Amino acid sequence: MKNFVEELRWRGMLAQMMPGTEEMLQKEMVSAYLGTDPTADSLHIGHLCGIMMLRHLQRCGHKPYLLVGGATGMIGDPSGKSQERNLLDAETLYHNQEAIKKQVSKFLDFDGNEPNKAEMVNNYDWMKDFTFLDFARLVGKHITVNYMMAKDSVKKRLSGEARDGLSFTEFTYQLLQGYDFLYLYDKFGVKLQLGGNDQWGNMTTGTELIRRTLSNEAEAYCLTCPLITKADGKKFGKTESGNIWLDRNRTTPYAFYQFWLNVSDDDAEKYIKIFTSLEKDVIDSLVEEHRQDPGRRTLQYRLAEEVTRMVHSQEDLDMAIAASNILFGKSTKENLLQLDEQTFADVFKDVPHYEVSKDVLGQPAVDVFNQEGMQIFPSKSEMRKLVKGGGVALNKEKLAAFDQPVTAEDLIDGKYLLVQKGKKNYSLIIVK
């Protein structure tokens, strides 16, 4: 059995753990769980470190449980938040849970016959019929208010760092999360909780509740991964346009691939250990190769390939690479036509955009590409010269003549014209 703690340690995925955790993991197959709130119908890359922990856990011979917080998701966790979360209805939570399971099944084996096959549980199943009086009597009496107030997540919200204070609903969150651990321990023998380091306070409430409720000798442990940041100290996984999602309808495989391709050298060296399953000797060799010639961006390319293939598919990776080559390499009109509209928009989002009326269709290219307000060519005569030298392309095909008519048949997705001046100078005309 591979040493799970050692695996996390060399990958930079270990923040802290309770004494005795590593010894327990070495002597038996351990059931461990990680919780995620189903506040959306997709995970984003901020969740990936936790999911990779479960993946490594299963590969080291232990049994992973993914807990979807259907009940706790209705409340919201105060850890690291300054505002209370919107409450979701049961139908939305169920939809989100099913979508998340589909995503996570690419990382974990839920269907095998092995004793350590992954399980998915939802705390709504055991909380929905739990009355407030029962909860107060069976759970609340074991944990003092003093103990709960000492947690950082509570102290920060009460110290004035957030003006809104802390509602009673959110204050009870750590008891609910603690009860999850108690329930899983009692029902399924789950002895270890995994999570991000900002969850340490809530997680240790669970071990405390288990010991006070069941026995001081009860073996229950916590282990956390560090919060992932970028080299500049900013939060990982956020871009100007928002989260990088695992769902292709929210973030296209092309945009997903580009995110990893564009990380810094320092981040690539860190992320390839955390977000791939590559072995240590392979990663060490890639790091060495990258340091010899950073300009080739060996780490970024391998990182982007591994993560895109794992989250999406080999086919999506191939398309993302082909889409990247449209801007930066040789490609054809056929490559353009293979892109779905969202990917097409992602590829060309940073090139100048111009809008024209569909009335221009049928007119010569020199007139269509030099409408008032366009800055594609300095003048019509300059465009004529460029066309003569083979320096202008429409939809990746060289323009044969400056007065070649632009027709509806030239439109990509029924509305786009891609004009290329020289090798890398693009403009996108949207015909409305």
- Of the listed 39, 92, 103, 169, which one is catalytic? 39
Residue of 11, 47, 62, 157 marked active site: 47
Catalytic residue, candidates 44, 212, 230, 421: 44
205 is catalytic: no
Distance of CA 181 to the CA centre of its chain: 25
Q: Supply 339's token pair.
A: 């892109």
Secondary structure of residue 188 in the 3-state scheme: helix
CB contact burial 63-87 (16+ within 10 A = b; e otherwise): bbbbbbbbbbbbbbbbbebeebbee
Catalytic residue among 95, 187, 235, 388: 235
CA distances to 54, 268, 306 from 297, in Å: 29, 9, 14
56 is catalytic: no
> How far apart, in whole angstroms, are the C-alpha atoms of residue 70 and residue 75?
9
Q: Is 239 a catalytic residue?
A: yes
Residue 301 known to bind ligand: no
- Catalytic, out of 142, 156, 169, 198: 198
To 5 degrees, how large is the angle CA 50–CA 56–CA 61? 130
Q: Residues with Cβ < 8 Å from 375, sequence gap 6 or more?
A: 352
Helices (H), 348-420: 365-368, 380-388
177 is in an annotated binding site: yes
* Helices of type H across 262-313: 265-274, 280-292, 298-311
Please check whether residue 305 is in contact with residue 239, taking contact to mean a CB–CB distance below 8 angstroms: no
* Cβ count within 10 A of residue 424: 9
| The two three-digit tokens of residue 181, written as one number | 């651990």
Query: Contact 26/3 with Cβ under 8 angstroms?
Result: yes
Q: 100: exposed, middle or buried (C-beta count within 10 Å: 0-12, 13-18, 19+)?
A: buried
Q: Respond yes or no: is residue 198 known to be catalytic.
A: yes
Quickly tell me which residue has 């009940």 as its tokens.
71
173 annotated binding-site participant: yes
Residue pair 293/287 in contact (Cβ under 8 Å)? The answer is: no
- Known active-site residue 62: no
Quick one: tokens of 13? Answer: 């995925």
Residue 370 phi, psi (nearest 5) = -130, 40
Out of 211, 212, 238, 396, pick the active-site residue.
238
Does residue 27 have an active-site annotation?
no
Is 179 annotated to bind a ligand? Reply is: no
| Residue 137 annotated as catalytic | no
Question: Is 330 known to be catalytic?
Answer: no
Rounded distance between C-alpha atoms, residue 108 and residue 51, angstroms: 8
Residue that is written with structure tokens 């204050």 in the block: 171
Burial of 8 (0-12, 13-18, 19+ CB in 10 A): buried
User: Of 85, 151, 191, 273, which is the active-site residue?
Assistant: 85
- Give dist(CA 92, CA 89) in Å, integer: 6
Which tokens sit at 261? 């391709």
**Catalytically annotated residue among 16, 26, 144, 239:** 239
Token couple for 59: 């590969």
Catalytically active residues are 39, 44, 47, 81, 85, 177, 198, 235, 238-239
Tell me the binding residues for ATP.
238
Tell me the binding residues for L-tyrosine.
33, 173, 177
Tell me the binding residues.
33, 173, 177, 238
